[in-house]
Amino acid sequence: NEDRERAWRASRETKLETIPNCEACAKPTPEEVRGWAQSFDKLMKSPAGRNVFREFLRTEYSEENMLFWLACEELKNECNKHTIDEKARMIYEDYISILSPKEVSLDSRVREVINRKMQEPSSHTFDDAQLQIYTLMHRDSYPRFLNSAIYRSLLQSVSRSSSES
């Protein structure tokens, strides 16, 4: 049993390495940072916005929501059937499985749909779950993010640097 747990941990660490720690992106402009407060979609469409929001989610112990969302986005861009199967299995193990420490919060209907779709995974296997997590982040975490020290200090620093130049 101990060996199985050690092997599971090792395989898990390897899988998680495929997810970059943070997306590469340019420094956001003051307009872009202000725009994040206008709409959650603007925040999520911006690589810099996703990075800052992800840092905030980490402080709330819910970073797995963003990681799951990003993994689903990556899966949607995949065309190779073998790679889709592999990535879908990794997403399932990392975020859907009740055994995972990074399990995302999904309702039973969405879980049933995923379990059926995992028989023949496609690049859209997790669409319902991804929408549910997006909605959860939008309704739950996003309003707190806008009032967070992380966002307010970034807003101050980009406003200050733009007024200095």
pLDDT score of 20 = 45
Tokens found for residue 128: 């319902």
Q: What is the pLDDT of residues 5-41, one digit of tens each?
A: 555 555 444 343 333 445 566 788 999 999 999 999 9
* Domain membership flag for residue 53: yes
pLDDT score of 164 = 62
Structural domain total, the chain: 1
pTM over 0.95: no
Tokens found for residue 147: 């009032």
* Domain membership flag for residue 28: no
* Domain membership flag for residue 33: no
Q: Name which of 21, 42, 24, 22 is nearest 33 in CA terms.
A: 42
| CA distance to 58, 71, 111, 137, per residue, from 44 (Å) | 16, 14, 24, 10
| CA distance to 16, 22, 35, 62, per residue, from 19 (Å) | 6, 8, 27, 16
Q: Please state, as a whole number, how many other Cβ atoms lie within 10 Å of the Cβ of residue 88.
A: 25
Higher pLDDT among residues 84 and 7, named by residue:
84
Compute the average pLDDT of residues 59-85.
Answer: 96
Q: What is the pLDDT of residues 87-146, one digit of tens each?
A: 999 999 999 999 999 999 999 999 999 999 999 999 999 999 999 999 999 999 999 999
Q: Which domain holds residue 123?
A: 46-160
* Domain membership flag for residue 7: no
CATH number at residue 67: 1.10.167.10
* Domain membership flag for residue 113: yes
pLDDT score of 159 = 82
Compute the average pLDDT of residues 35-48.
Answer: 96
